[in-house]
Amino acid sequence: MPPAVAVEGISKQYRIGQMQPAYGTLRDSLVHGVKRLRSGHLHEPAETIWALRDVSFEAQEGEVIGIIGPNGAGKSTLLKILTRITSPTEGRAEIRGRVGSLLEVGTGFHPELTGRENVFLNGSILGMTRGEIARNFDAIIEFSGVEKFIDTPVKRYSSGMFVRLAFSVAAHFEPEIMIVDEVLAVGDADFQRRSLGRMEDIGDSGRTVLFVSHNLQGILQLCDRTILLKDGRIERHGPTPDVVAYYEQETMGTGPELVWSDPATAPGNDLARLQSVRVVDEDGRTSGTLDVRRPVGIEIAFEVLREGWPIVPKVKLYDQHWAICFNAIDVSPRWHEPTPPGEYVATSWIPPNLLNEGRHQVDADVVTIASPKLIPHASVHQAVAFHVYDPAEGDSARGTFQGQWRGVVRPLLEWTCEER
């Protein structure tokens, strides 16, 4: 089976001028031409940049592929090429099946036309046949919830009604290949919930999806594989959790592992010294992205240099809004006695279904408890970080709910319920 999308060495070059105000006047061009003639340089080398450079990947039928990267990495350019809005400078791509794009919902909506007329107009522009629109018309109207105003010109719609109708049309388009750019960033919470749910449905229905987003949560939830673009090139391409972890470490500077190979520079004092801090999964592997339903281990390796004090490892966890989730120390009796010199590896296990989704930062310390004070011996702020994600398969604390879930923690509680 040939891949649904095969991209081979796609590059796109822009003249700098094209990126700036996109048009000149005829006079500018004439003046410019005359200048060039007089100076004798007919082919003045234009300043150019490569928005995309040698990008290759394949998507099998039914795969959901995420595309992430900082602003200006070339994500939108790639989508514009794959949707044939602009053409590549080099390279080649083959796409099997109809391509639908959700680059912006409501493209082509005309304010003077009624909702009904715009459904047909927008549907055709997206690439639906008239038959398909007619077949889905009732479903589109019902999903949008604007039945009552369907024969009113859309210029009289509230912006919410407008977005709902526009999204509803796009949501009922059924191409084999769906290209989605950041639709989850618009609309209210309810709208975002529904679009995320809709994206999941699209993925489940065996369609091939290319999904560009800055919403790493959504990417982790939806995409099997992810491509990280940077400066127009593919920087990383692989399983989504790996790529997201790499990207977060790159952009935020903190990753799932911190090792001090030189004892001289390791944080600590004459009593104790840190060696490494790692975030590990239940199998002991270093991991920057962890499933919410699995335990998370924070491993602290440290060396005790001389006997005298009880030395206790401690972690402090922050969520993505820098709220402190908790502090934790090892309370086992072994730390009540002065700790003998030697190397120790302590791992604290955060139980499954406790943390909420998102990025978490960890401070790692080794301390001595001298109530009411904690005496730190070695302390590292933001030593490691990891990302908790929920594949939303229904068995986590969010059940089948898709939307935003607030809270510093998100425990899976036991509920009792009796009928009275």
Partner 1 sequence: MTETQVKGPQAPDRQARRNNASASARSAHVTVIRPATNWPRLDLGELWRFKELLAIFIWRDLKVRYKQTVIGGVWAIFQPVFTALVYTLIFGKFAKFPSGNLPYPVFAFSGVLAWQYFNASLNVASGSLLGNVPLVTRVYFPRLLLPIAGVLTPLIDLMLALVVLVALIAWFHTWPGPAVVLAPFFILLALVTALGSSLILSALNVRYRDVQYVIPVFMQVLPFLSGVPYSLDGAPAKWQWLLSLNPITGVIAGWRWTVLDGPQPVPGQLAVSAGVALTLFVIGVAYFRRSEPRFADTI
Beta carbons within 8 Å of 119's beta carbon, 6+ residues apart: 133, 137, 140, 141, 165, 169
Give the Cα separation of 313 and 345 in Å (integer).
9
Among positions 149-208, residues that touch partner 1 (CB under 8 A) are 153, 171-172, 174-176, 189-190, 193-194, 197-198, 201, 205-207
The burial class, CB within 10 Å (0-12 / 13-18 / 19+), for 356 is: buried
Q: Give just the sign of the alpha carbon dihedral 114, 116, 120, 123.
A: positive
Nearest distance from residue 104's CB to partner 1, in Å?
Answer: 6
- Binding to partner 1 by residue 53, rule CB under 8 A? no
Shorter beta-carbon distance to partner 1: residue 53 or 273: 53
121 forms part of the interface with partner 1 (CB under 8 A):
yes
- The reply to whether 31 sits near partner 1 by the rule CB under 8 A is no
Beta carbons of 325 and 319 less than 8 angstroms apart: yes
Pick the closer one to partner 1 by CB: 10 or 274: 10
Q: Kindly state whether residue 343 participates in binding partner 1, applying the rule CB under 8 A.
A: no
Supply 174's token pair: 């059924």
Kind plus residue range of the DSSP H or E element containing 213: none
> 153 — phi, psi (to 5°)?
-60, 140
Q: Taking the chain, what is the end-to-end CA distance rounded to the nearest angstrom?
A: 58
Using CA atoms, how far residue 55 sits from 6, 68, 88, in Å, is 11, 14, 11
- For strands 272-280 and 296-304, give the pairing: antiparallel
Phi (first) and psi of residue 204, to 5 degrees: -65, -25
If one asks whether residue 143 binds partner 1 (CB under 8 A), the answer comes out as yes
| Of 32, 84, 285, 336, the one binding partner 1 by CB under 8 A | 84
Binding characters for partner 1, 379-408, by CB under 8 A (x = yes): ----------------------x-xxxx--
Q: Whose structure tokens read 């990947």?
A: 57
Q: Which of 69, 74, 88, 256 binds partner 1 (CB under 8 A)?
A: 88
Interaction of residue 95 with partner 1, rule CB under 8 A: yes
Per CB under 8 A, 130 contacts partner 1: yes
Binding test (CB under 8 A) with partner 1, winner from 101, 213, 226, 254: 101
Cβ distance 368 to 309 under 8 Å?
Answer: yes
Helix (H, G, I), strand (E, B) or coil at 269: coil
Question: In the complex with partner 1, which residue's Cβ is closer, 198 or 377?
Answer: 198
Stretch that binds partner 1, among 38-46, 133-141, 282-290, 360-368 (CB under 8 A): 133-141
Instruction: Please identify which residue in 65, 75, 136, 302 interacts with partner 1, judged by CB under 8 A.
Output: 136
Q: Does 117 bind partner 1 (CB under 8 A)?
A: yes
- Of 88-96, 233-241, 305-313, 375-383, the segment contacting partner 1 by CB under 8 A is 88-96
Q: Which of 129, 359, 348, 331 is nearest to 251 (CA)?
A: 359
Using CB under 8 A as the binding criterion, the count of chain residues that bind partner 1 stands at 76
Which member of 32, 36, 98, 336 binds partner 1 (CB under 8 A)?
98
Instruction: Give the whole-angstrom CA distance, residue 233 versus residue 294.
Output: 33
Position among 56, 60, 83, 152 found at the interface with partner 1 (CB under 8 A): 83
Q: Give the range of 75-83, 250-258, 270-278, 356-364 binding partner 1 by CB under 8 A.
A: 75-83
Which is nearer to partner 1, 139 or 345 (by Cβ)?
139
Q: Which stretch binds partner 1 (CB under 8 A): 122-130, 279-287, 331-339, 344-352?
A: 122-130
Facing residues of 347 across strands?
Answer: 299
